[in-house]
Structure 1
Amino acid sequence: MSRGTWTRRIGMTAAATIAVTALTVPVGAQATTATGTSTVATATTAAAAEDVDYDTWQKDCQAVMDQALPYLKQRIAATKPGEKQAIVFDIDNTTLETDFGFSYPQPANGPVLEAAKYAQEHGVALFFVTARPGIIYSVTDYNLKNVGYQVSGLYVRSFLDLFKNVADYKTAQRVAIESKGYTIIANIGNSATDLSGGHAEKTYKLPDYDGQLS
């Protein structure tokens, strides 16, 4: 079955597959102020929640990023003297195509990578905040870099973070990024837990089809 006709089916998550692979893939690792009014951009989705078609998902992702990229270009052009700009991304089904096949490295989500490349080419730092556990930090870091993202910082959950509310955990990581002197000009994810809690000038929500995509 070609990727263009792939339909996502619920089963073993790709993150779990990566966790198994983590012990056998040699990789290197690289380590990471203002709270603005969030504007959530969402796509109108046509896919049924239980049966998500790859092409529909890509079209819906593109619709969101078609709103995000013009804003990013405008905001980057208006960088203030001395301002360090950053974008915060979720990973699963945001920056990577996690639920559409279980290959490793996982492919980049094309519409998101396009915006990320524009930002990183114009001096914006890219931070990745994920609910993935720390045990797969290295393979996640390698995967992101392998498909074209410049990783300024990757935040994964420690053992203690596993017991925290995901939204609170992700908000705390954005606060930590701000504490390093960055202005988070955009926060991009596919779940409400990626975007709630503030600490970003704009938020953009990719489709998750009622939680069917992780």
Structure 2
Amino acid sequence: MTSRRPWAHRIAVSTVSAAALVALAVPAEAATTTTSASPTATTAAAEDVDYATWQTDCQAVMGQALPYLKTRIAAAGPGEKQAIVFDIDNTTLETDFGFSYPSPANKPVLEVAKYAQEHGVSLFFVTARPDIIASVTNYNLKHVGYQVSGLYVRNFIDLFKDVAAYKTAQRVDIENKGYTIIANIGNSATDLSGGHAEKTFKLPDYDGQLS
């Protein structure tokens, strides 16, 4: 059984940053919206987050997302370009639990993503990660099974902006490209606030213990 320790995030970030050194060797591969609050997963212990509990809580949220997506995808209008927006750290990837590169996929989220991409939905990833690790992040996502239609990372100027406002602006950009964002999936309020998605699904972050 794996637990997330207080120093875990620093290790995970260091792992990804170190991987950036080998980036050159890695193959690079406006409709009105309604935002719905999603259920919040159960609270874990105050100091450590147990991996099995986290996976159970993620599965509970994705267990509600998948039926919604099946219905919404089947109801696509003529010519509608459907998209889902995902956060990355502890949403699509096990950043605080997988101390390796590439980081493992968060399995309940990958299952939902695979259903969507197999049914013609484009997957966009909006992260607070800096652009210096864009290549290794893109490779990691594709390596574990995600089809990346777009990856949004922060440039130097973006690092000084409010994270929630930055992420909202990226969703607006996706809509401006003609996509309807049918779902937005993340584990933090900054991932989900600001609208520009028909429905939101919040994974657990245990009061900020997970990045």
TM-score band, normalised by the shorter chain? over 0.9
- Distance in 1, matches of 2:173 and 2:41, equals 33
Report the 3-state secondary structure (helix = DSSP H, G, I; strand = E; otherwise coil) of the residue aligned with 2:22. coil
Given candidates 158, 161, 168, the residue that maps to 1:161 is: 158
3-state SS of the aligned residue for 1:136? Answer: helix
How many angstroms apart in 2 are the aligned matches of 1:125 and 1:200? 14
Structure 2 match to 1:60: 57
Relative to structure 1, the CA distance from residue 27 to residue 185 in structure 2 (aligned partners, 3 Å threshold; closer, same or farther) is: same
Query: Which residue matches 2:124?
Result: 127
Q: Does 1:41 align with 2:38?
A: yes
- How far apart are residue 24 of structure 1 and its match? 1.9
CA distance in 2: counterparts of 1:15 and 1:179, whole angstroms: 32
Q: Tell whether 2:206 aligns with 1:209.
A: yes
Q: Percent identity?
A: 76
Please report the TM-score for the alignment, with normalisation by the length of structure 1: 0.94
| TM-score (norm. length: structure 2) | 0.96
**Dislocated runs of 4+, deviation >2 Å:** none
Q: Secondary structure at the match of 1:155?
A: strand
Name the structure 1 match of 2:20.
Answer: 22
Deviation at 1:13, TM superposition (A): 4.3
1:5-154 alignment runs, 5 A limit: 5-11=1-7, 12-25=10-23, 26-30=25-29, 33-154=30-151
SS in 1 for 2:6: coil
For the 8 Å contact 2:86–2:92, the answer to whether it is kept is: yes
Consecutive unaligned residues of structure 1, counting only runs of 5 or more, are none
Q: Deviation per CA, 1:179-206: give whole Å up to 9, x if none.
A: 0000000000000000000000000000
Task: Provide the C-alpha distance between the structure 2 equivalents of 1:204 and 1:111, rounded to a whole number of angstroms.
Answer: 13
Answer yes or no: is the 8 Å Cα contact 2:28–2:138 preserved in 1. Answer: yes
Conserved 8 A contact 2:41-2:203: no
SS of 2:78's equivalent?
coil
Distance 1:21 1:64 in 2: 31
SS at match of 1:61: helix
Contact 2:98-2:104 at 8 Å conserved across structures? no
Distance 1:50 1:151, change over 3 A: same
Q: Which amino acid aligns with 1:121?
A: E
Q: Residue 29 of structure 1: CA displacement?
A: 2.7
One-letter amino acid of the structure 2 residue matched with residue 206 of structure 1: L
Structure 2 Cα separation of the partners of residues 148 and 128 of structure 1: 13
Displacement after TM superposition at 1:16 (Å): 2.9
Q: Is the 8 A contact 2:41 2:58 kept in 1?
A: no
Distance 1:62 1:35 in 2: 29
